[in-house]
Amino acid sequence: MKFKNSLFFFLVFAFFQNVIAQENQQKITPAFLQYENSKWVDSVMKSMSPRDRIAQLFMVPAYSNKDEEHIQELLNLIENQKIGGVVFMQGNPKEQVKIMNRLQAASEVPLIGAIDAEWGLGMRLENTINFPYQMALGAIQGEDLIYDMGKEIAKEIKRTGLHINFAPVVDVNNNPENPVINYRSFGEDKQNVVKKALAYMNGMQDEHLLTTAKHFPGHGDTDTDSHLALPKINHTVKRLDSLEIFPFRKLINAGVGGIMVAHLDIPALDSTETPSTLSKPIITGLLKEKLGFQGLIVTDAMNMKGVTEGHEPGVVDKQAVLAGNDLIEFTEDVPKAIAEIQKAIKQGLITQEEIDEKSRKILAVKQWVGLDDYHRISPKHIEQELNTPEAKLLKRKLAEASLTVLKNTGDLMPLMRLDTLKIASVSIGSGEKTEFQNSLDLYTKIKDFQLSREAGTAEIDSLRKALKDYNLVIVGLHDFSIRPNNVLKLSDEVKSFISEIARNRQSVFSVFKNPYVLNKIDNIEDAGILIETYQDSPLTEELAAQLIFGGIGANGKLPVSIGTKFKAGYGLEVEGGIRFEYTLPEEAGMDSDILNTRIDSLMQVAMDAKAIPGGQVLVARKGKVVFYKAYGLHTYDDTIEVHKNDLYDLASITKISSTLPLLMQLYDEGKFDLSAGIDDYLPYFKNSNKEGIPFRQILAHQGRLKPWIPYWKNTLRKNGSYKWFTFKKDSSARFPIKISDDLWLHRHYKKKIYKAIKNSPLEKEAKYKYSGLAFYLTPEIVERLTGTDFRKALNNRIFDRLGATTLTYKPLEQFPLRRIVPTEHDYFFRHEPIHGVVHDEGAIMMGGVSGNAGLFADANDLAKLMQMYLNMGKYGGHRYIKESTLKEFSKTQFPENDNHRALGFDKPYLEYRGEDSNTAKDASKDSFGHTGFTGTMAWVDPEEDLVYIFLSNRVIPTRENTRLYELNIRTKIQQVLYDAIKE
């Protein structure tokens, strides 16, 4: 074959040795070619006129968000011009399916439908999934997830009635200033590009979706957007062959179905300044003959200025066909294009046989994708089917696997010893609290700040001053643009401030931007921790926060070099799984549909029945929080919605959340003995009927203690007034304990409570009888054994290290009233609604701090404590309690005495009692936890690695409301967890 371009002969010679080496390599023929001469293709070819066969080569754009006039234009092209296909652009999936069905019904030959969905349907269609951009995927180690993504994207595209994806991008991006490829590339390493592209390609093609590797012969090293002008690439043939063309050769050998040709001026391949889309030396000579590609050759969009400049619509499409393209995308003038090709046939520039060959190839694709047996696509449930939990989980896994840690000075991450850290977070580029900051807050107490992109000296000075109070600063560098381009729109003052913070090694930076911007920030590489996420989204923000605290790990590697700061392939590995990961149920082997629909339904039943006005439910499995929701209102007669960070009165869950963990620690230290009695630690109880009763019996609730004592009633005279030495209406040094605004308790009344406990009679038999009396005494026992104030010991030893900062007594000391859910309207003691203080009368008379009640928390922080128990004493990389101790305390102590209780912990009844049981039917015998009078439940099951938290205020407006018990809501929801576990 002769070519006008003399340079091509030099290209042939330059390629010669390479081609010889490649000849012995086994090539996989594109799968669709098996149908090129099938009976169906033959029959369709016979039914079409020569003109119709030309028309098969053209695809026009279609939009599912345009009006009927647009659809009529498409129908006209189908019915009168007999075009071969459409390329769907913006819109929504339901309308797209409806339109595609109409178009197919109007077409004599089934239409091929394509979409440019490089990162999934979300690139084009509303209410569909955006998978990570290819640069993020380039950071992933291994290709299995990318293969799975290819399969998922193929299924989704097919579900919308389409058959071709104009992906993957296989351009090697080695130009940081590339305005059009950049984040769309797998990176600068050609081998990595090939591995990732092959995985993506194979995933799609294994689902019978045609793929088109693009943008041939390589668009990575340009600084011009071919949508706006014709880029020029001035590399030698040798360089092009070894780098730009390398991925295309590999995918061709692996059987890629299609190749998309770019609009590029490449003098080394064609010296005539002809765009590569129109270049016969590049398409026919190089792609088809030298690289041996037999599949479908597709043009890039023919409305882009890189090809339209100086070329007339219709005429330019003819030139593309003459150059060797099979399928012309975005033809702007179909009738003229067909006429021009007919003219070219008459002129001998191309033969009808060559056109027929292209038409057969297109028909073969149509048969391979199943259009020989076309069925109408149903729009019913399409959005649900395009947003499956499995697809969402895959997206999460991909984003997580891409996270790249570039600095981790002194293994600072994951953050340990939260009790030693005073943390501030700064989101730069956001005017409001970000998802990143919300996710950071799940792990510990953090003060949040925002800094605008254009901040000046005054705003920065104010923030600088505020940050002096913190010993760790976490910075989120945000990018809320549609695409993560290599752009850094920050004021000089903000850039300087970022550099200042980075020089402090106690700084954490999470960059939610294109990695190339790191080269535009001085000293960013000096930060204590530096994380690159590649793009900004709620998901990447959430995952970055989890990485910082060890909920997840990271092993991503940079797919591109960042100047001289970091080279491609660099990335540190960080351990995860030491604290909660917040994820989807499917990642923990649970069914999200069962959890969501059934828990929502049961909570609605409870609220409709006025069993509770609202509540919180948290579920964790395998160390992963998979369900965490807030429901309803604070009270029945207000409009304040429950939020996930609202605090509830835990009631008796206090027993296992306050003194019990401290007693277990003291047991580990040899300071607390289960065989000892109260009198061994509180001598005041010597010579009482409590003397010698071992704590093993007491904590298992068979120490013969009375269930409770109504202490407040002991303060009343016979006429109903209070005894003078108990309460006063105003506070004073002698009456400092606030019960209500006009009720203040004597400072020594605790002694009266102790005396009442000491003098209380014992039950006749040592058998199970639930009692809270001993838990009034345990805080003082802890203080005697530790030499530390009880609350201080509890915070220092347990809560602060857990990051459980809402687990607290006296919540009004730390939290605004609006975050605390009210409890009962007290008409018999305090004579006021109870809000912000403990509901239990005995606990409020202990000053609000007791071992039997008084703790408040949100579900998330309570779950951290319960997860520590489930982990047999370990959480966040720290061991709180010995495993042997937790096993001892959480096992049933006296089953032979018909007692199901453990030490402090509740356990399932020895025999399941149906609706009267204290746990779900499927809760294992190893499970343990506690419930609370206010309508709470905290339970763990080691057998299924489950944590379950239920918080409510069922006592609003009165404790007489027992509908929560009657409906058995707590245990019914618990059973849902077991039902949701997948085998």
The span from the CA of 804 to the CA of 435, in Å, is 20
Q: What is the pLDDT of residue 714?
A: 78
The span from the CA of 344 to the CA of 970, in Å, is 78
Q: Which domains does the chain have, with CATH numbers?
A: 61-273+293-313+370-385 (3.20.20.300), 403-585 (3.40.50.1700), 589-611+968-983 (no CATH), 650-938+953-960 (3.40.710.10)
* Chain-centroid distance, C-alpha 299: 37
The three-state DSSP-derived secondary structure of 835-861 is: CCCCCCHHHHHCCCCCCCCCCEECHHH
Sorted by sequence, the CB contacts under 8 Å of residue 615 that are 6+ apart come out as: 603, 606, 630, 631, 632, 642, 648, 935, 950, 951, 952, 953
The span from the CA of 362 to the CA of 359, in Å, is 5
Task: State how far the alpha carbon of 362 is from the alpha carbons of 107, 343, 354, 368, 895, in Å.
Answer: 15, 22, 13, 10, 75
| 3-state SS assignment for residue 565 | coil
The span from the CA of 314 to the CA of 331, in Å, is 7
The span from the CA of 103 to the CA of 210, in Å, is 20
* Chain-centroid distance, C-alpha 608: 32
| 3-state SS assignment for residue 68 | helix
Contact 316, 308 (CB under 8 A): yes
Sorted by sequence, the CB contacts under 8 Å of residue 68 that are 6+ apart come out as: none
Instruction: Supply 490's token pair.
Output: 């920050």
The span from the CA of 857 to the CA of 575, in Å, is 29
The span from the CA of 343 to the CA of 336, in Å, is 10
Q: What is the pLDDT of residue 2?
A: 40
Q: Helices marked H in 160-289 — which ranges? A: 190-205, 237-239, 246-253, 280
Task: State how far the alpha carbon of 423 is from the alpha carbons of 443, 468, 644, in Å.
Answer: 11, 11, 21
The span from the CA of 543 to the CA of 539, in Å, is 6
Pairing mode, strands 472-477 and 423-428: parallel
Token pair 């882009």 is at which residue? 304
Q: What is the pLDDT of residue 715?
A: 79
The span from the CA of 813 to the CA of 180, in Å, is 55
Q: What is the pLDDT of residue 24?
A: 41
Q: How many CA atoms lie within 13 A of 229 on its CB side?
A: 7
Strand-pair partners of 425: 448, 474
The span from the CA of 77 to the CA of 85, in Å, is 10
Token pair 């289960």 is at which residue? 674
Q: State the DSSP H helix or E strand holding residue 826, giving kind and residue range, or none if neither.
A: strand 825-826
Contact 419, 800 (CB under 8 A): yes
Contact 553, 546 (CB under 8 A): no
Q: How many CA atoms lie within 13 A of 345 on its CB side?
A: 16
Token pair 């990389």 is at which residue? 877
The span from the CA of 948 to the CA of 548, in Å, is 25
Token pair 């001598």 is at which residue? 683
Q: Which residues of the chain have pLDDT under 50?
A: 1-17, 19-24
The span from the CA of 493 to the CA of 510, in Å, is 19
Q: Helices marked H in 734-786 — which ranges? A: 749-759, 778-786
Q: State the DSSP H helix or E strand holding residue 17, giving kind and residue range, or none if neither.
A: helix 7-23
Nearest to 287 by CA among 319, 317, 258: 258
Contact 167, 200 (CB under 8 A): yes
Token pair 């003399």 is at which residue? 6
Nearest to 46 by CA among 292, 360, 278, 285: 360
The span from the CA of 278 to the CA of 263, in Å, is 8
Contact 205, 249 (CB under 8 A): no
Q: What sign for the dihedral angle of Cα 55, 60, 63, 68? A: negative
| 3-state SS assignment for residue 246 | helix
The span from the CA of 396 to the CA of 393, in Å, is 5
- E strand residue ranges, 429-558: 446-451, 472-477, 507-511, 529-532
Interior angle at CA 908, CA 907 and CA 912, nearest 5: 165
| Interior/surface letters 506-534, b for 16+ CB within 10 angstroms, e for the rest | bbbbbbbbbbbbbbbbeebbbbbbbbbbb
Nearest to 950 by CA among 973, 928, 917: 973
Instruction: Supply 146's token pair.
Output: 């990318």
The span from the CA of 99 to the CA of 82, in Å, is 17
| 3-state SS assignment for residue 143 | coil
Q: What sign for the dihedral angle of Cα 488, 491, 496, 502? A: negative
Instruction: Supply 443's token pair.
Output: 């792990």
DSSP string, 901-943: --SSSB---SS--GGG-SS-TT--TT-EEEEETTTEEEEEETT
Sorted by sequence, the CB contacts under 8 Å of residue 486 that are 6+ apart come out as: 176, 177, 182, 514, 516, 517
What is the DSSP code (8-state) at residue 390?
H
The span from the CA of 525 to the CA of 409, in Å, is 11
Rounded-to-10 torsion of CA 197, 198, 202, 204 = 10
Q: Please, is 351 exposed, middle or buried when counting C-beta atoms within 10 Å of its C-beta (0-12, 13-18, 19+)?
A: exposed
The span from the CA of 60 to the CA of 65, in Å, is 16
Q: What is the pLDDT of residue 25?
A: 55
Instruction: Supply 776's token pair.
Output: 């009034």
What's the longest Cα–Cα distance across the chain?
120
Nearest to 105 by CA among 71, 84, 75, 85: 75
| 3-state SS assignment for residue 368 | helix
The span from the CA of 251 to the CA of 350, in Å, is 29
